[in-house]
A and B are shown apart, each in its own frame.
Chain A
Amino acid sequence: MSGHPSTYEPKNGFTKWMDQRLPIIRMGADFMTYPSPRNLNYWYTFGGILTLCLVAQIITGIILAMHYTPSVDAAFESVQRIKRDVPFGWLLQPMHAVGASMFFFAVYIHMFRGLYYGSYKAPREMVWILGCVIYLVMMATGFLGYTLPWGQMSFWGATVITGFFGAIPVVGESVQQWLLGGYAVDNATLNRFFSLHYLLPFVIAAIVGLHVWAMHHAGQNNPVGIEPKSKEDTLSFHPYYTAKDFFAICIFLLIFAYFLFYYPDSLGHADNYIEADALETPAHIVPEWYFLPFYAILRAVPSKLLGILLMFAAVAVLFILPWLDTSKVRSMRFRPVTKLWFILFVIACFVLGWHGALSPDDPVMGVKSVWWSRAATLYYFSFFLIILPVMGLIETPKDRPDSITKSVLGEASS
Chain B
Amino acid sequence: MSVHTENSHEVIDEDKRDFIYIATGTVVAAGAAGLAWPLVMQMGKAADTLAAGAIEIDLSKVVEGQQLKMLWRGAPVFVRHRTAAEIAEAESVDVSDLKDPQTDDERLVPNPAGKLEPQYLVMVGVCTHFGCIPVAEQNKVKPQGEFGGWYCPCHGSHYDTSGRIRKGPAPKNLKIPPYEYISDTVIKVG
- Chain A interface (Cβ < 8 Å from any Cβ of B): 156, 159-160, 162-164, 166, 177-179, 181-186, 188, 192, 278-285, 299, 301-305, 307, 359-361
A283 CA to B135 CA in the complex, in Å? Answer: 9
Complex-state Cα separation, A185 to B130, whole angstroms: 12
Smallest beta-carbon distance A390→chain B, Å? 32
Measuring CB to CB, which residues of chain B are less than 8 angstroms from any residue of chain A? Answer: 43-46, 49, 69, 71, 73-76, 126, 129-133, 135, 141-142, 152-156, 168-171
Residue in B71, B75, B131 whose Cβ sees the most chain A Cβ within 10 Å: B131
Contact indicator A304/B169 (Cβ below 8 Å): yes
Q: Are A284 and B153 in contact (CB under 8 A)?
A: yes
User: In the complex, A279→B75 CA distance in Å?
Assistant: 7
For B53, the closest partner residue in chain A by CB is: A183
Structural contact, A283 and B141, CB atoms closer than 8 A = yes
Instruction: Flag if B74 contacts A302 (CB, 8 Å).
Output: no
Report the nearest A residue to B44, measured CB to CB. Answer: A178
Contact of B71 among A163, A279, A359, A360 (CB under 8 A): A279
Q: Which A residues are in CB contact (< 8 Å) with B43? A: 178-179, 181, 192
Contact pick for B133, options A163, A177, A280, A307, CB 8 Å: A280
Q: How far is the CB of A180 from chain B (nearest CB, A)?
A: 9
**How far apart are B32's CB and chain A's nearest CB, in angstroms?**
20
Nearest-CB residue, chain B, relative to A283: B153
| Chain A residue at minimal CB-CB distance from B127 | A281
Beta-carbon nearest neighbor of A179 in chain B: B43
Check B130–A184 contact: CB distance below 8 A.
Answer: no
- A177: which B residues are within 8 A, CB to CB? 44-45
Q: Which B residues touch A281, using CB under 8 A?
A: 132-133, 135, 152-154
**Bound-state Cα–Cα, A162 to B28, Å:** 34
CB-nearest residue of chain A relative to B132?
Answer: A281
Taken together as a complex, chains A and B put the C-alpha atoms of A192 and B45 apart, in Å, by: 13
**Are B74 and A182 touching (Cβ within 8 A)?**
yes
- A-B contacts, 8 of them at CB < 8 A, read A159-B132, A177-B44, A178-B44, A181-B46, A182-B46, A186-B74, A285-B132, A304-B130
Given contacts A278-B74, A279-B69, contact A304 B129 (CB under 8 A): yes
Measured between beta carbons, the chain B residues less than 8 angstroms from A166 are 130-131
What is the bound-complex CA distance between A282 and B153, given in angstroms? 8
The answer to whether B49 touches A182, judged by C-beta atoms less than 8 angstroms apart, is yes
B185 to chain A, nearest CB (A): 23
Is the CB–CB distance between B169 and A160 below 8 Å? no
Query: Bound state CA distance, A285 and B152, in angstroms?
Result: 11
Give A305's nearest chain B residue, CB to CB: B171
User: Looking at the complex, which one of A183, A188, A302, A361 makes contact with B75 (CB distance below 8 Å)?
Assistant: A183
Residues in B whose Cβ lies below 8 Å from that of A285: 132, 153-154
Best-buried of B73, B129, B142, B169 by chain A (most CB within 10 Å) = B169
| Minimum CB–CB distance for B176 against chain A, Å | 15
In whole angstroms, what is the CA distance A284 to B169 when docked? Answer: 16
> In the complex where A278-B76, A304-B170 touch, is A160 in contact with B131 (Cβ < 8 A)?
yes
Contacts of B135 in A (CB 8 A): 281, 283
A184 contacts B132, CB within 8 Å? no
Q: A160, A299, A301, A304: which contacts B171 (Cβ < 8 A)?
A: A304
The reply to whether A188 and B133 contact each other, CB–CB distance below 8 Å, is no
Q: Which of B49, B129, B133 sits near A183, CB closer than 8 Å?
A: B49
A177-B45, A282-B153, A284-B153 known; A163-B74 Cβ under 8 A: no
A163 to B133, CA, bound (A): 13
Which A residues touch B129, using CB under 8 A?
163, 304
Enumerate chain A residues within 8 angstroms of B171, measured Cβ to Cβ.
303-305
Which chain B residues lie closer than 8 Å to A163 at the CB level? Answer: 129-131
With a cutoff of 8 Å between Cβ atoms, the chain A residues found around residue B155 in the complex are 299, 360
Complex Cα spacing A159 to B169, Å? 16
Q: Which of B49, B76, B141, B153 contacts A188 (CB 8 A)?
A: B49
Give the residues in chain B near A188, CB-CB below 8 Å.
Answer: 46, 49
Of B71, B130, B155, most buried by chain A (CB within 10 Å of CB) is B130
Q: Give chain B nearest CB distance to A33 CB in angstroms.
A: 45
- Name B128's closest neighbour in chain A (CB-CB): A304
B45: which A residues are within 8 A, CB to CB?
A: 177, 181-183
The answer to whether B71 touches A156, judged by C-beta atoms less than 8 angstroms apart, is no
Cα separation A359 to B170 with both chains bound (whole Å): 16
State the Cβ distance, A205 to closest chain B Cβ, in Å: 24
Contacts of A303 in B (CB 8 A): 169, 171
Residue numbers in A under 8 Å from B75 (CB-CB): 183-184, 278
Q: Return chain A residues, CB-CB under 8 Å to B156.
A: 359-361
